[in-house]
Structures are given as C-alpha cells and as structure tokens.
C-alpha cells in the first residue's frame, strides 16, 4: 500500500519489487559502465537516492569493495532496511540505509559523499531540479553526481499490439495526473543546467529490445504496478485488466516476430570542482 501522503504512482508490494529487480537486470551493464566511466572505484563512499530494492546498491558495493560504503535512501523504509541488511550480510562494502523523502530532507547522514547516484527517481518527484540541487549539495568537492532516468516515448511494439498501446496510454495518464514527465530521462542535461550544476561531463543513452515473453511479462507487471491509481482515475477496472492480459497471452501463444522496445535509459554524470 502507498502511504497516504505519498504521491508515488507505483505499488509498494512484492510483485512490484520483483518487477524492479527484473528491470534492473536489463540495465545491469549500462549502469555498471556509466558508474565506471564516472570514476566509481574501490574505497569510495556512495549514496543511492531512491534505492528501491537495492540492485544498484549491490553493484556500487561491488565497485567500491570492502574499504568503501553505500548508503541507500528511500521513502520506503521497510524495503530499504531489509535490503541494506541483506546486502550487509553478504559482506564486502559497508551498507547503510536512511529512510527519508528526498523532497523534504535537507540533509542525509554521511553527506557529503564521493558518489551521489539516483536511477529512476527524478521521474517520480514533483520538482526534479530542486532534487538535483540537493543531490549536488550532498556530493563532496571532487566527488561525482550520476543520474539515470527513462524516456518512455519509445515504449512500443511492431507490429502494434493494441494492449501494449493501451497499457502505455494508461501508465502515461497516471503519471501525468501526478505531474510526472514521461520524458524526464531525455531532459537530463537540461535539468542539470536548470539546477545550476552545468553541462554533464559524461552522457549516455541506451535502448533495450526484449523478447515476446519478456514484453508480455513487463507490460502486465507495469500495468499492475499502476492499477490502483488507474482505477481511482477511472482508467482501468478488473474486466479491462483481464481483457488486456488475455490479448497479451494470445499474442504470446501465437508467437511471431515482434519488435518490442523498452523506454530509453538516459544517463549523465558531473564531477564537482575539487
């Protein structure tokens, strides 16, 4: 369940956490490469804001090793605490978790960090520019800020499947009803400029095509992730959900050759003057 004052559009349940973990696998190489280009190396102290189920915390932990540390920050306290505990039990880097809403937090224990990182967070906040300013402030002089976010404009299939188009339409409507911009990733360099941080030192844009089976799974999981919000807005109901899922299942059973594109993942990093 979402907390009452929480404008997060996705569910907070085990199915949604599993979707986030599965999505992370698709972007594992892209994120690792960006972090390495940005200079993440053994011994550094990192902050991952909007850490969710902690797949990037795990990766940061591998990169910084036993002499380094990773602090996760998320408004979802139960998930973050469990994640940090599990990662800590695996050994290697030191792991911490700080429960906070980044839009309200003024400080975070351990700041400033060598590396401040956020993936798929800026899309979910009301004022991404204000959040970027905070992330910059929590980065030490000589440290680096790294952000990644989606541009959902490329979420589609060929040949077109009406269910995919409808799921994208519903997701977009739910996002926009909460004031979210589905092109946040595309706008990252401009957002950094608006925050007074300046043009990125490094940028990246990555795409992923997925199989029919993966696309069916991802589309169903995303739809379920926003289903309660969509229902509140009168954009979805259980019968419509069943109809869309049946259409996806029929496509999967029939097989065939499709192009399915995920949203594009944009990345940018900037080093603070020492």
Ligand X SMILES: C[S@@+](CC[C@H](N)C(=O)[O-])C[C@H]1O[C@@H](n2cnc3c(N)ncnc32)[C@H](O)[C@@H]1O
**Residues 204 and 267: beta-carbon distance below 8 Å:** yes
- Give the nearer residue to ligand X in terms of CB position, either 127 or 246: 127
User: How many CB atoms are located within 10 Å of the residue 49 CB?
Assistant: 25
Among 22, 37, 101, 194, binds ligand X (CB under 6 A): 101
Q: Classify the C-alpha dihedral 182-190-124-259 as positive or negative.
A: positive
Q: How many residues bind ligand X (CB under 6 A)?
A: 19
Q: What's the alpha-carbon Rg for the chain, to the nearest Å?
A: 19
What is the closest distance, in whole angstroms, from the C-beta atom of residue 160 to ligand X in the complex?
26
Selection from 176, 180, 156, 160 nearest residue 168 by Cα: 156
CA terminus-to-terminus distance, the chain: 43
Helix (H) or strand (E) holding 177: helix 162-177
Nearest approach in angstroms of CB 46 to ligand X is 13
Does position 216 interact with ligand X (CB under 6 A)? The reply is: no
Q: Does residue 111 interact with ligand X by CB under 6 A?
A: no
| Residue in the shown chain whose Cβ atom is closest to ligand X | 52
Stretch that binds ligand X, among 73-81, 187-195, 240-248, 261-269 (CB under 6 A): 73-81
Nearer to ligand X, 73 or 215 (CB): 73
Binds ligand X (CB under 6 A): choice among 38, 55, 163, 216: 55
C-beta of 69 vs 148, nearer to ligand X: 148
C-beta of 52 vs 263, nearer to ligand X: 52
Query: How far apart are CB 119 and ligand X at their closest, in Å?
Result: 4
Angular region, 15: left φ>0, alpha ψ -120 to 50, beta rest: alpha
Judged by CB, which is closer to ligand X: 64, or 226? 226
Classified as helix, coil or strand, 87 is helix
Residues sharing a CB contact under 8 Å with residue 238, sequence separation 6 or more, in sequence order: none
Summarize as ranges the residues that interact with ligand X (CB under 6 A).
Answer: 8, 20, 24, 50-52, 55-56, 74-76, 101-103, 119-121, 124-125
């Amino acid at each position: 369940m979402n907390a009452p004052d929480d404008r997060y559009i996705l569910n907070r349940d085990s199915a949604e956490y599993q979707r986030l973990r599965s999505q992370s696998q698709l972007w594992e190489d892209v994120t690792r490469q960006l972090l390495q280009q940005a200079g993440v190396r053994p011994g550094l102290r990192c902050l991952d804001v909007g850490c969710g189920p902690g797949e990037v915390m795990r990766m940061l932990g591998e990169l910084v090793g036993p002499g380094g540390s990773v602090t996760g920050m998320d408004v979802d306290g139960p998930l973050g605490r469990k994640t940090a505990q599990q990662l800590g039990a695996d050994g290697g880097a030191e792991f911490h978790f700080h429960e906070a809403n980044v839009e309200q937090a003024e400080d975070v224990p351990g700041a400033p960090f060598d590396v401040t990182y956020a993936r798929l967070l800026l899309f979910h906040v009301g004022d991404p520019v204000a959040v970027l300013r905070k992330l910059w402030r929590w980065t030490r002089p000589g440290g680096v800020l790294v952000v990644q976010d989606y541009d959902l404009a490329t979420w589609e299939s060929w040949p077109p499947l009406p269910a995919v188009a409808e799921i994208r339409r519903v997701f977009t409507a739910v996002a926009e009803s909460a004031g979210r911009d589905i092109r946040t990733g595309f706008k990252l360099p401009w957002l950094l400029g608006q925050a007074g941080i300046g043009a990125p030192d490094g940028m990246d844009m990555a795409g992923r095509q997925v199989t029919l089976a993966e696309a069916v799974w991802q589309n169903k999981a995303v739809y379920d992730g926003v289903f309660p919000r969509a229902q509140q807005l009168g954009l979805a109901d259980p019968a419509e959900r069943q109809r869309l899922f049946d259409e996806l299942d029929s496509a999967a059973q029939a097989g065939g050759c499709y192009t399915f594109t995920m949203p594009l993942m944009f990345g940018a990093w900037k080093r603070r003057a020492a």
